[in-house]
Amino acid sequence: MKKFGGEVLLLDRDNINTDEIIPAKYLTEITKEALKPHLLEDLQLKGFDPQSKALADAKVVLTRNNFGCGSSREHAPWAFEINGINAIVAEGFARIFRQNMLNCGMLPIELPKKEITALSKLARQGKAKMSFDLKQQKLTLKAGGRSRAVAFELNDFATKLIKAGGWVAYADTVY
Amino acid sequence: MKKPRTLAQKVFDAHRIDTPCEGMSVLRVDRVFCHEITTPMAITDLMARKMDKVFDRRKIMAVIDHVTPAKDTKSAIQGKVLRDWARRHKLPHWFDIGENGICHAIFPEKGFVRPGMTVIMGDSHTCTHGAFGAFAAGVGTTDLEVGILKGICAFREPKAIKVVLKGRLRKPVSAKDVVLRVIKELTVKGAIDCVIEFTGPVVEKMSMEARMTMCNMAIEAGGTSGICMPDAVTVDYLWPFIKKDFKNKAAAVKAYSRWHSDPGAVYEKVLTINVSELQPQMTVGYKPDEVVDVAKMAGTPVDQVYIGSCTNGRIEDLRAAAAIIKGKKISPRVRAIVSPATPEIFKQANKEGLIDIFMHSGFCVTNPTCGACLGMSNGILAPGEACASTTNRNFNGRMGQGGMVYLMSPATAAATAIAGKIADPGATKSWKKK
């Protein structure tokens, strides 16, 4: 199982798409390693710098709705994975992106809009860190000396994929 | 009495092998389509795991389409990984250079998709194939890998959105204009975890090409699959491939009608659009739901016009564009590219004189490829440039970093090429009503 939790990167915008996460020109790469320097290279977001330390340090992304919309390219979750970001907390995901994350044993968490807003507000209070308790289905955000704990839901199938380390390993055991 | 079901629910019920938790289904897949961008990593992973096998070589179809001919060493290697694999497993349905076309055009053309099937591919526009009354969904490389190995895939039970198209579609308004309007109404996230059923009298009269254009863009509203009910039009299109299975076309229509959504099936949403008054549509921003009447943007300068892709590179699309440019020259302010989606379409266009029309007007005619649509080859924009394009996605940087993409119909793109700026094809004098 992958490790989840650590420094939080806030990407405060709806509809961040796969072409922004990893542009198509890198899709001829055949290793995940080659995607590493290009994560979020084309992201249009005020104040965001793809070369920043905030991205380099991040272990968790906190974002808005329809995250990962567009292409089916698994290169998008891979680009996060190879940069050490295994958990993404959003108001919502595009279907293929969400399934791709689970298939890689990564952690996609969906929370209601007002909860994302509250977490975003807190994450701006200083260096933000998030931890996850998969058993209790609870996450905790700590920033600026304050903390906020939130319950999340993950269905049984998602939990099994994460525990197995992804869909190939799970499918090969079960089917 | 049996609970009324949608087409997608019937297909799920017929293919389900497991319910790993409530709301999730593991399905048998009838088709696993593969191309050279998302498949090689699945192949190399299977090899690394010492599991380089295929579940059924007759149900796996593969094509090189995204970057073809190869543009550099990296794309050549991707092609080679797929080619070596296809040969190693003796895939009977393998399309290499010379025979290759855009996946979502060539696979239907070869009759691979039938009503009631489950289809997956490592490509988001796989939803196109739902036009045949199938459940067809784009997946990532890992789902593709398990599909290749085991012939299965896991999905959430899909909800359904019904789009009812009423009225009369008046040329030059086309399926592309309709689907752009639908996306505007649904928004880019309006159909997440839903299939979109396109129904109503307008769809019944539409060709398979037009239905594929609409289903192709279901994903732009977040939809899992576009779906049309299989009918006589579907059977006509598939007849060369299914005639041995049925005594006549009527029998095929009747057999396929069992997949139709039942009256009383439950929908998340029903969207009714009267297309009689619909004007040509186009996108203006970086999201496919930012849609306006073309007339509103008329006169906006563009640098490139692109006609092609899995959305609008089929023969009807080329006919619609050629009807507008016939006997005219493109504006010296623009460069124009047309890319027939498959070799068969290319040959047919040539036979009908369409290729001549394009070339005389100043279009560059390329081989079938996805290239320009996603900024990989054959028509990449420079920063600051704009493209009038018949493709499906206008994300920032999609056709080249810093470029702007205006999505529109082939007719609008053709009128724009002549004018050298955005032009409403309905307003051009040359347009003759059929």
Facing B395 at nearest CB: one of A20, A155, A167: A20
Segment B405-408 long-range contacts (CB within 8 Å, at least 24 positions apart): B405/B283, B405/B381, B406/B282, B406/B283, B406/B284, B406/B297, B406/B300, B406/B302, B407/B180, B407/B282, B407/B283, B407/B288, B408/B176, B408/B180, B408/B280, B408/B281, B408/B282, B408/B283, B408/B294
Chain A residues in contact with chain B using a Cβ-Cβ cutoff of 8 Å = 14-15, 17, 19-20, 23-25, 27-30, 42, 44, 65-66, 69-74, 77, 92, 94-96, 99-100, 103-104, 155-157, 160, 166-168, 171-172, 174-175
CA–CA separation, B91 and A99 (whole Å): 28
Which residues of B are less than 8 Å from A72 in CB distance?
38, 121-124, 126, 138-140
CA–CA separation, B285 and A127 (whole Å): 34
Element (H, E) at A58: none
pLDDT on residue B2: 83
Structural contact between residues A39 and A79, judged by C-beta atoms closer than 8 angstroms: yes
Is the CATH number of domain B287-427 3.40.50.700?
Answer: no
DSSP state of B384: T
Interface test mutation site (partner B, options A33, A71, A161, max chain B beta carbons within 10 A)? A71
Q: For A133, phi and psi rounded to 5 degrees? A: -115, 100
Nearest C-alpha in A relative to B40:
A30
pLDDT on residue B427: 79
CA–CA separation, B341 and B309 (whole Å): 6
Structural contact between residues B218 and B127, judged by C-beta atoms closer than 8 angstroms: yes
Which residues of B are less than 8 Å from A96 in CB distance?
124, 138-140
Element (H, E) at B405: strand B404-407
pLDDT digits (tens, 9 = 90+) for B161-195: 999 999 999 999 999 999 999 999 999 999 999 99
The CATH number, out of the four listed (3.30.420.40, 3.30.499.10, 3.10.20.30, 3.40.1670.10), of the domain defined by the range B7-273: 3.30.499.10
CA distance, residue A41 to nearest chain B CA (Å): 10
Are the beta carbons of A23 and B396 separated by less than 8 Å? no
pLDDT on residue B428: 60
Let me know if the fold of B7-273 is the same as that of B287-427.
yes
pLDDT digits (tens, 9 = 90+) for B378-403: 999 999 999 999 999 999 999 999 99
Are the beta carbons of B51 and A15 separated by less than 8 Å? no
Sequence-distant (≥ 6) Cβ neighbours of residue B64 within 8 angstroms: B35, B36, B79, B82, B83, B95, B96, B97, B100
pLDDT digits (tens, 9 = 90+) for B283-310: 999 999 999 999 999 999 999 999 999 9
Edge to edge, what strands does the sheet with B364-365 contain?
B364-365, B335-338, B304-307, B386-389, B404-407
Structural contact between residues A122 and A2, judged by C-beta atoms closer than 8 angstroms: no
Structure tokens at B312: 């609008």
Are the beta carbons of B142 and A15 separated by less than 8 Å? no
Facing A95 at nearest CB: one of B192, B286, B376: B192
CA–CA separation, B3 and B266 (whole Å): 10
pLDDT on residue B432: 44
pLDDT on residue A30: 84
Number of neighbouring beta carbons within 10 Å of residue A126: 11
CA distance, residue A5 to nearest chain B CA (Å): 24
Structural contact between residues A42 and B397, judged by C-beta atoms closer than 8 angstroms: yes
State the SS3 of B132-148: HCCEEEECCHHHHHHHH
Return the CATH superfamily for domain A6-174: Aconitase, domain 4 (3.20.19.10)
Are the beta carbons of B149 and A171 separated by less than 8 Å? yes
* Residues facing residue A132 across a β-bridge: A139
**pLDDT lower than 70: segments of chain A:** none
Which residues of B are less than 8 Å from A153 in CB distance?
none
Closest CA to A42 of A16, A5, A15: A16
- How much is the average pLDDT of B135-154? 98
Q: How confident is the model at residue B417 (pLDDT cuts 50, 70, 90)?
A: very high
CA–CA separation, B210 and B191 (whole Å): 20
Interface test mutation site (partner A, options B126, B142, B156, max chain A beta carbons within 10 A)? B142
CA distance, residue A126 to nearest chain B CA (Å): 31
Edge to edge, what strands does the sheet with B225-228 contain?
B225-228, B194-199, B159-166, B269-274
Facing B21 at nearest CB: one of A15, A104, A157: A157
Mean residue pLDDT of chain A comes to 96
pLDDT digits (tens, 9 = 90+) for B34-85: 999 999 999 999 999 999 999 999 999 999 999 999 999 999 999 999 999 9
pLDDT on residue B430: 47
Which residues of A are less than 8 Å from B395 in CB distance?
17, 19-20, 70
Which residues of B are less than 8 Å from A73 in CB distance?
37-38, 140
- How much is the average pLDDT of B228-248? 98
Q: How confident is the model at residue B433 (pLDDT cuts 50, 70, 90)?
A: very low
CA–CA separation, B82 and B37 (whole Å): 9
Are the beta carbons of B142 and A74 separated by less than 8 Å? yes
CA distance, residue A95 to nearest chain B CA (Å): 6
Ranges of each domain in chain B: 7-273, 287-427
* H runs (alpha helix) in A16-112: 18-21, 53-57, 75-82, 95-103
CA–CA separation, B417 and B371 (whole Å): 20
CA–CA separation, B254 and B231 (whole Å): 8
ipTM of the prediction: 0.97
* H runs (alpha helix) in chain A: 18-21, 53-57, 75-82, 95-103, 113-123, 156-164, 167-174
Closest CA to B389 of B101, A131, B379: B379
Are the beta carbons of A30 and B123 separated by less than 8 Å? no
